[in-house]
Amino acid sequence: PGDTSVLAGLYGPAEAKVSKELPDRAALEVLLRPKVGLPGVLERSREQLLRQTCEAVVLGVLHPRTAISLVLQVLSDAGSLLSCCLNAACMALLDAGLPLSALFCGVTCALQPDGTILLDPTARQEQEARAILTFAIASSERKVLMATTKGSCSVEEMQQCLAAAQRAATTIFQFYRDSVRRRYSK
C-alpha cells in the first residue's frame, strides 16, 4: 500500500479553442500520461471515465466557453491505478478552487477466487483476482458516480463490494479534510 502515485495538474478556466468551446458550460479535458511509453487505448478509456466523473461534479455552467484541462502523470503503479487517478483529480479540483457540487473519491475492490473482498489491491492481488471493480463515490450521501468492472462477478457480490467501498470512502474523505486543514492552517 502506498506505492502507486499520480501527479495531477489542473489548468483553467482558460481560453478554449473555438472548435472545442461549449456555449453554456466549461469544456473539461483530461490527459493521462503513463509512466513509460506513449498514451494508448487504455489511457484514452480511462481519460473518458475520469472526464465524465469530473463533469458530474464540476459546476461548468459558471464558466461557459472556457476550457478546463486536467493532466495526470503516473509516477509509479503498484495496483489500484484508476482510483488513485480519481483521488488525485479530486484533490487537484479542490486545490485549484474550482466550483464543485460534491467531492468524489475512487475505491478499488478485488474479488478473489474464494469470494473474499480486498480493498485497494496491489498489482499482484489484482492479477490473481477473479474480478476488479472500481467505484467513484460522491461525498453527498455516498452516491455512486462511476463504476467499472474488469472480470465477472454476480450481482450480490457487486452489491457487497459497493457497500465496502462506501465505507472506505469515509476514510478517504477524512484524509481530504485533514490535508486541506493542514494547508489552510499555515
Partner 1 sequence: LRRSGAGLLVTTCGLLRHRPGGGGAYWVDSQQKRYVPVKGDHVIGIVTAKAGDVFRLDVGGSEPASLSYLAFEGATKRNRPNVQVGDLVYGQFVVANKDMEPEMVCIDSSGKSSGMGIIGQDGFLFKVSLGLIRKLLAPKCEIIQELSQLYPFELVIGMNGRIWVKAKTVQQTLIIVNILEACEYMTAEQRKQALAKLSGN
Which residues sit at the interface with partner 1, rule CB under 8 A? Answer: 12-16, 59, 62-66, 94, 96-101, 180, 183-184, 186
Distance from the first to the final alpha carbon of the chain: 29
Nearer to partner 1, 91 or 133 (CB): 91
User: What is the 3-state secondary structure of 85-150?
Assistant: HHHHHHHHHHHHCCCECCCEEEEEEEECCCCCEEECCCHHHHHHCCEEEEEEEECCCCCEEEEEEE
CB-wise, 150 or 175, nearer to partner 1? Answer: 175
Residue 30 contacts residue 89 (beta carbons within 8 Å)? yes
Q: State the sign of the Cα–Cα–Cα–Cα dihedral 13, 55, 137, 89.
A: negative
Minimal distance, residue 99 CB to partner 1, in Å: 4
State which residue, 11 or 115, has the beta carbon closest to partner 1.
11
Taking the complex as a whole, the smallest distance from the CB of residue 14 to partner 1 amounts, in Å, to 6
* Residue 67 beta carbon to partner 1: minimum distance, rounded to whole angstroms: 8
Shortest separation between residue 145's beta carbon and partner 1, angstroms:
17
Nearer to partner 1, 35 or 183 (CB): 183
What's the closest the beta carbon of residue 20 comes to partner 1, in angstroms? 13
With 0-12 / 13-18 / 19 or more C-beta atoms within 10 angstroms meaning exposed / middle / buried, residue 129 is buried
CB nearer to partner 1: pick between 96 and 164: 96
